[in-house]
């Protein structure tokens, strides 16, 4: 249910499940030249030239919105691996958080990722959308649930919400240690942890896409209304930025959605 589009040289993924302006960026189509951050780096905190990042946002937003909006319409924030979801009634930089929701047309909600799962939500009838940065900690803290709760508490309906879990690190590559397992068990219970862990050759691998899917379904979303990208950012590190592949010398991708 995910396809790739190219606009003015910018490659981005979209979900057929989300019937409003949205996109998941890749590494392709930008102007950054710094090693590990070329070319579509969308993270101002990655040591890149700010002018390059600004131009990358201009290109990405133009591609996603078909030239309708520019980067001045973006809502963004420093991300802290939390379950905090803020209302974005206008563009601008907000206090640290890991998600936004809005009912205002033309406000472009953005979250940045580089292995973490970007999750977009949309209730067409209610006219509300959300963008969530779901790393493993935000995931088990319940940021997907907080996003759904924000929409439902303002006139949305869980059974109407469409969700897209974008490109992220998948269970094939997301190796974890026992401390990860203990943290997940503490927050979500042993059964939840065991459902989303794969044991292979004495090693443990976690499935954050499946975790978020279960949490979304638990909120009342219909399984057929949840699309999941099969692209693994670690496996496909020439197309996507991956923290596991590149470490701190890497760029950031962006997921964006707007009414």
pLDDT at residue 112 in the model: 98
| Helices vs. strands in the chain: H and E counts, helices first | 7, 16
pLDDT at residue 203 in the model: 95
Q: pLDDT tens digits, residue range 81-107?
A: 999 999 999 999 999 999 999 999 999
Establish how many alpha carbons lie within 13 A of residue 256's alpha carbon, considering only the half-sphere containing its beta carbon. 29
Rg (CA), the chain: 17
- The SS3 call for residue 28 is coil
CATH number of the domain encompassing residue 217: 3.60.140.10
Domain of residue 197 covers 2-258
Q: pLDDT tens digits, residue range 121-178?
A: 999 999 999 999 999 999 999 999 999 999 999 999 999 999 999 999 999 999 999 8
Establish how many alpha carbons lie within 13 A of residue 170's alpha carbon, considering only the half-sphere containing its beta carbon. 14
Read off the tokens for 13. Answer: 């993924």
Q: pLDDT tens digits, residue range 179-197?
A: 899 999 999 999 999 999 9
Chain centroid to CA 121: 10
Largest CA distance in the chain: 51
Whole-prediction pTM value?
0.97
Report the number of distinct structural domains present in the chain: 1
Q: pLDDT tens digits, residue range 193-251?
A: 999 999 999 999 999 999 999 999 999 999 999 999 999 999 999 999 999 999 988 99
> Beta partners for 232?
168
């Amino acid at each position: 249910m995910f396809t790739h589009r190219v606009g003015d040289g910018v490659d981005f993924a979209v979900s057929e499940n989300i019937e409003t302006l949205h996109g998941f960026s890749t590494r392709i189509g930008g102007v950054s030249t710094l090693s590990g951050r070329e070319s579509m780096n969308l993270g101002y905190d990655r040591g890149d030239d700010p002018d390059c990042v600004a131009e990358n946002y201009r290109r990405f937003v133009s591609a996603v919105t078909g030239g309708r909006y520019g980067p001045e319409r973006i809502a963004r924030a420093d991300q802290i691996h939390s379950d905090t979801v803020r209302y974005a009634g206008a563009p601008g930089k907000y206090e640290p958080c890991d998600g936004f929701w809005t009912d205002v047309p033309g406000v472009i909600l953005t979250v940045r990722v580089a292995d973490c799962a970007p999750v977009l939500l949309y209730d067409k009838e209610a006219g509300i959308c959300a963008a969530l940065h779901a790393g493993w900690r935000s995931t088990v803290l319940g940021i997907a649930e907080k996003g759904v709760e924000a929409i439902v508490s303002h006139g949305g309906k869980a059974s109407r919400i469409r969700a897209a879990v974008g490109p992220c690190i998948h269970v094939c590559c997301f190796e974890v240690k026992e401390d990860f397992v203990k943290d997940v068990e503490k927050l979500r219970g042993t059964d939840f942890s065991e459902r989303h862990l794969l044991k292979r050759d004495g090693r443990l691998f976690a499935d954050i896409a499946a975790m978020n899917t279960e949490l979304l379904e638990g909120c009342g979303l219909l399984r057929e209304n949840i699309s999941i990208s099969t692209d693994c950012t670690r496996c496909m590190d020439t197309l996507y930025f991956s923290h596991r592949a590149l470490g701190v010398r890497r760029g950031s991708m962006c997921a964006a959605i707007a009414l």
